[in-house]
Structure 1
Amino acid sequence: MQHVRMVLTRGITMFAFDFAGCGLSEGDYITLGYHEREDVSTIISYLRDSGEVSTIALWGRSMGAATALLHGHRDPSIAGLVLDSPFSSLEMVVRELIDKVPLRFKPSLLVAAAIRMVRKTVLKRTGMDILKLKPIENVHTCFIPALFVAGVNDDLIDPHHTHDIHELYAGDKNMVLIDGDHNSARPEYLVDSVSIFFYERLCMPAGLPGELPPVQVPLGPSGMPEQAGSSVSAIWSFDEHSTPQDAGQTAVRNFGNVASDNV
């Protein structure tokens, strides 16, 4: 709610949702962005067809950030991206997680065989090839202004993933490193930075130099804005708040279950 209030008080509306298979949404599987990018595309089309919004930005964390990247390179009309802890390659994440397993011996052939088995099963069940899920592949063609975020103690998606994507990203970019891990609550200064970024990208009239003052929306008795502007919109995927574990951890668990079914 802290995030919502900070954004709404700047006159920006927010469309928050759970991906299929997460939170309150139905579904048995998540694909870490492979199919979720189509969910984002559908939501964006809905917002644009509504006639109630003008510019749209995307804010995602973990799977949400990877999904925003996968959609962003094919939709240059997006005004801005906030990308918190995206992964560059799912295969790399899987290998790094295996490397962290406290086993004395992990033969490379055994690791490769396990990945092939998981790949085959996931492909059969979801139509997703885990070896082809590489959000970093198209960032050199994405020119949407982006704010990258990474937790320096993230032990699920190593911060180097965010650094690598940021390094190759073609558009205007900035990066914020925060203390904490993959699931840590984000500090207030980061929420402030995101709010300013969204305001500049969504509310700044084209062609006008400089910054505009923040739009202050009156707060109601509950502490939430009584009304929010409806001319701009930021989409926020709730994948990091809607489940007991982060979506990335859920996916790893699902992949583990898939693998165990075949042992």
Structure 2
Amino acid sequence: MVIRPPRNPYPSDLPENGSTRQFGGKDFTKSVFTINNEKGEKLSCLFYQPKERSGEKMPVVVYMHGNAGCKLEAEELAPFLLPQGINLFAFDFSGCGQSEGEWVTLGWKERKDLEAVLNYLNSLGTVSKIGLWGRSMGAATSIMYTAENQDKVHASVLDSGFASFIDIANHLASNQFGIPPEFVQFLMAGVSQQIAQLTGGLNIIADLNPVKYAPRCKVPALFVHGSDDDFVEMTHSEKNFEAYGGGSKDAMYCSGGHNDARPRETIEQMVGFMKKHLTA
């Protein structure tokens, strides 16, 4: 359940690679391709860019999906981001969607996937500033990556990210099964050993703690959380926000649960945040 969630199924009627869509009166081309991560696993990517561009460097938002999600989550952002002069890149984490890989680690190894994406974008010579937009697992990945790569990120939108994995385990065990926290700790110790063997060293108790990375993050950040989220409670974003090291940080809350689509006005505010920090 932790490291091998079901892969998000893809519809059979997806637009072909190189298809063109219009947003804000301009044509944008959607490219679908793969890049390799550090382990040589193929990561399935999509990239929206203007069909015609003058050659100037442009900012890009890199969207990162949640656990059991995929890069298609980013499609709902295209009508909002692209007309603002911000290109959109999304990818399936290794072990998710159409990417290779056996395991998901909720942000730990996913940092290396993100690093491969940013290295690719910077190699193009057409990208100016990069913003990270993470949902759930993607938000945790963003925090843990940014803590060690301040110079590669210019802004972050962190939607429903968790502060620590053990807090989620305690909450779910208590609310759904009535298991006391001390017994959860006992169970997690055994589970952690098994997961470490399968994933090459991940300690789910010690390593999956974005809140411990947050103080080292200095880039502007906007924290977002659904008020009806009963999976990753709002207190997780509150803890991450409080610990976050950057002076330019803000938080907003909206209606909806953990996996619900965000209201239009919320998306517009999130995009406005990105525009402020990526196009200035």
Specify if TM > 0.5: yes
Does structure 1 residue 99 correspond to structure 2 residue 167? Answer: no
Cα offset for 1:25? Answer: 1.4
Contact 2:170 2:181 in 1 (8 A): no
> Structure 2 residue aligned with 1:111, among 171, 184, 191?
184
What is the alpha-carbon distance in structure 1 between the residues aligned to residue 93 and residue 279 of structure 2?
A: 27
- Structure 1: 5+ residue stretches without partners: 205-263
Cα offset for 1:110? Answer: 3.5
Return the structure number with greater relative CO, CA threshold 8 A, min gap 6.
1
- Structure 2: 5+ residue stretches without partners: 1-74
What is the alpha-carbon distance in structure 1 between the residues aligned to residue 216 and residue 165 of structure 2?
A: 20
Cα offset for 1:51? Answer: 0.6
Task: Kindly indicate which of the two structures has a greater share of residues assigned to strand.
Answer: 2
RMSD between aligned residues: 1.3
Name 1:194's counterpart in structure 2.
270
Instruction: Report the TM-score, using the length of structure 2 for normalisation.
Output: 0.70
Cα distance change of structure 1 residues 152 and 48 upon mapping to structure 2, 3 Å threshold: same
Does structure 1 residue 49 correspond to structure 2 residue 123? Answer: yes
Does structure 1 residue 121 correspond to structure 2 residue 194? Answer: yes
What is the alpha-carbon distance in structure 2 between the residues aligned to residue 37 and residue 65 of structure 1?
A: 11
Cα distance change of structure 1 residues 167 and 109 upon mapping to structure 2, 3 Å threshold: closer
Please list the CA deviations of residues 8-35 of structure 1 after superposition, one character each: whole Å capped at 9, or x if unmatched. 0111111111101111112221000000
Number of residue pairs the alignment of both structures matches: 202
Does structure 1 residue 159 correspond to structure 2 residue 234? Answer: yes
Q: Detail structure 1 runs of 4+ shifted over 4 Å in the superposition.
A: none
What is the alpha-carbon distance in structure 2 between the residues aligned to residue 118 and residue 100 of structure 1?
A: 20
Does structure 1 residue 75 correspond to structure 2 residue 139? Answer: no
> Structure 1 residue aligned with 2:214, among 139, 149, 155?
139
Name 2:78's counterpart in structure 1.
4
Cα offset for 1:113? Answer: 2.5
Does structure 1 residue 175 correspond to structure 2 residue 248? Answer: no
Name 1:130's counterpart in structure 2.
204
